[in-house]
Each structure stands twice: as C-alpha cells, then as structure tokens.
Amino acid sequence: MKTLLLTNEYPPHIYGGAGVHVDYLSRGLAKLMEVEVRCFGEQKEELPNLSVRGFGTGTPSMECPKALQSPLGASRRCVDFNGAGISANLVHCHTWYTHLGGIMAKLNYGIPLVITVHSLEPLRPWKREQLGGGYDFSLWVEKTALEMADAVIAVSEETKRDVLSLFNVREDRISVIHNGIDLGEYKSTRDDESLRALGVDPKRPYILFVGRITRQKGIIHLVRSIRHLNPGFQVVLCAGAPDTPGIAAEMQQAIAAAREYHGEIIWIEKMVTRPEAIALYSGAGVFVCPSIYEPFGIINLEAMACGTPVVASAVGGIKEVVVDGETGYLVPLKQMTESPFEATEPEDFAADLAAKVNLLMADPELATRMGAAGRRRAEELFGWDAIARKTEGLYRNLLKS
C-alpha cells in the first residue's frame, strides 16, 4: 500500500500545526507503508519508504491582486501535483490549499480521497482580510472536497461536530484521530543559552505564548490581559508571521499600550526553530493559549509534553487536550455577538485569563504538579506511533470497501 500526502507545509517550511502534523505523520506512516509527500516549496528527499517533493512557491507571472496570489498559486500547484503522475493507492490532503489536488487525483486517477480537517474555513471569517475574494474560493473548494471525500479525519470530537453541522458529510465517513506529539523530542529540556539568545532572562520566571499573529490565535486578548497580570515575571510572546499588515500594526499598538502596565514584555517576532521552542516551553512557568478557534491546539500538547501547565480558552479541541484543574486551567470565552469571533466582553475574558495565570505563577508547587500531570497525559494518549497505526487502519478499511 502506498499513500500520497498533499500538504502546503513541510519541513523546513512550517508555520502552523498542520505542518507539524504532516511532518510526524509521514514519518510514522513510513514505518508501516510507502509514503510520498508533495508539498509547496523546493524540498527533495529520499528516505526508506518516504519520498518528499516540493513544488515551487513562486508566482512571478501572476498579474492578479496580491490577495489572490496565494489561493491561485495553490491551485496551480495542485494541478502540478497531478501532472507529475500518481502511483499511490490513495490521496490524503491536509488543509484546503491542497484540496483541489485531491479532487483532481480522485477523479483523474480513480483513487480514494482522504481529508484531515485541521480547521474549517467557515469558522475563520477573518481570512477574508488576507485573501479577499480568494476566501470565497477557499470556502467552495473545501466544501466540494469534504462532501466528495471517501473518508474524513477530524482531529477532535469538536471538529467532527463542526463538519457534521456545516457540510453534507455522512457521519460514518468521519473518524476522529487526534493530533500527536513526539515524546522523545518534546520533553523538559533546560537550555539557558538559547533563552538568553532570544532575549529571555532564564533566572527570572516567565509566561509564554507561541503562535502566529492571527485572529484565530487570540493573541490580542492575551496582550489585553497583561494589564491584569501581577508584577515579578516576564511575559514572553513568541509571535510572528502576521496574516496581514493591518494585524501586524494592531499587534504593535497593543504591545506598546501593554508596556505601560508591565515593563517585562519580550516580543520574539520570528518563527523560532523547534529546539528553541522546546527550550521556551521547558523554561516557562505557564503556557498561555487564548485562541478563539482551535480544532485541536497542538501547541498546548507541546507545552504539556515539556512539563509546563497550560492556561487556555475553553474552545474546540483544546477541551480534549487540557484537563481543567488537572493539567492547567480552561477559561470560558464569553457569549459571542455581532462578529462570531469577538467576545461580548473581551476585557472580562482577558481578566479571567490573567487571574488563572496569576494563580499558577504565585504557586510554583501547583504549577509543577499540573505540569507533571500534563506530561503523563501526553504520554498516555498522544504518541505518534499510535496515531500512524490508526491512520493506516483507516486506509486499509477504505481500500477494502
């Protein structure tokens, strides 16, 4: 059996959880079968049972508006994926950027289409800021692909419910297979030198955020919460890759305002390497995830595997990863109003978030206990080998039927 994985992100070009997922899943599946990865980039790699081929990301001949270059460039590469020929038994797509390629492979090559849902476009309306009319295109591609897929993998039970409520997909075609973590790599690893190189004082406690600057990750809510934080610890915001210049400017203004209340804000504006991220997780007193939409939230699992307690918003798949009062705290997001992604009382959410952070930072013994419980939970439920075996089993059942 051979599977073809289509993905936007693949090392070394990873900026989100979907890319991390495909990186580890491909390697786990390669222990069980032949795997080919086609991605956006210049990658070229041949390993036992695993081949990786990147398709160029440049769009020099496009004269369309800048916002459309990303979705139209993705469509061009999806055609290239198919034009290169396909010898796999099935095609497995990750994120809507590759769905057109999966549709074409199913129809042109007559192979089953599997889609892993990492997020859903109807639940990310802020993407219109980034894509313009390309957002309407992404909605159409995702809907078309999901409704014709032979199997859909949801990364959480909450995501499965979202798929059922938004699309015409039979429930018996949806399987829940959680995201995972490499427990050998993500573990408590003290690295004071890396922290100092990033501008963090390893001798002083700090809280941590890691993520892109996007509406989805709710970082603005976290920055608003800074005025409610107790003094005496650093606030480390590892936040880069803003979706739009407007969001970048909003972030700069919010941090400038927050510095009037808290003088120890360290903003790391680059996307850090994996070893740097592990060092940051391992040294933090608390990891904070204020997402307003999160189908799974692999960053929380990364922090837990490094023995760090988590304070996170009680949304989406986060509720299936973080156990409130055991591995950290879940903070409810208030009732939504006009815009489904702006809390009615964002200041209340920010204050509630800060209250839980202050509680853990004031009680290192409790934080240590919750961090250890998070590591145990990661070990028991979220190893990649088990996830690869579940995926391989889904493939075999699909091909039999």
pLDDT class of 163 with cuts at 50, 70, 90: very high
Is residue 38 a contact partner of residue 5, using CB atoms and an 8 Å limit?
yes
With 50 as the cut, is the pLDDT of residue 335 above it? no
pLDDT class of 10 with cuts at 50, 70, 90: very high
pTM: 0.78
Is residue 341 a contact partner of residue 215, using CB atoms and an 8 Å limit?
yes
- The segment(s) of the chain belonging to CATH 3.40.50.2000 are 2-180+383-400, 192-381
Write down the residue that tokens 């086609």 correspond to.
Answer: 38
| Fold that domain 2-180+383-400 belongs to in CATH | Rossmann fold (3.40.50)
H helix or E strand, kind and range, residue 222: helix 219-225
User: Span 168-177, mean pLDDT?
Assistant: 97
With 60 as the cut, is the pLDDT of residue 339 above it? no
E-state strands within 27-150: 34-40, 44-47, 50-55, 90-94, 113-117
Report the residue count for the chain: 401
With 80 as the cut, is the pLDDT of residue 60 above it? no
d(CA 99, CA 371): 38
Neighbours of 275 (CB within 10 A): 12
11 DSSP assignment: T
pLDDT attached to residue 58: 67
What share of the chain in percent tops pLDDT 90?
74
Contacts of residue 89, defined as CB under 8 A and 6 or more positions apart, other chains included, come to 1, 2, 3, 111, 112, 395, 399
Is residue 128 a contact partner of residue 215, using CB atoms and an 8 Å limit?
no
Phi-psi category of residue 398: left, alpha or beta, with phi > 0 → left and psi -120 to 50 → alpha: alpha
Cis peptide before 12 (omega within 30 of 0): yes
**Lowest-confidence segment of 140-144, 170-174, 204-208, 252-256 by average pLDDT:** 252-256
Q: Does CATH place domain 192-381 in 2.40.40.20?
A: no
pLDDT attached to residue 297: 86
d(CA 71, CA 307): 39
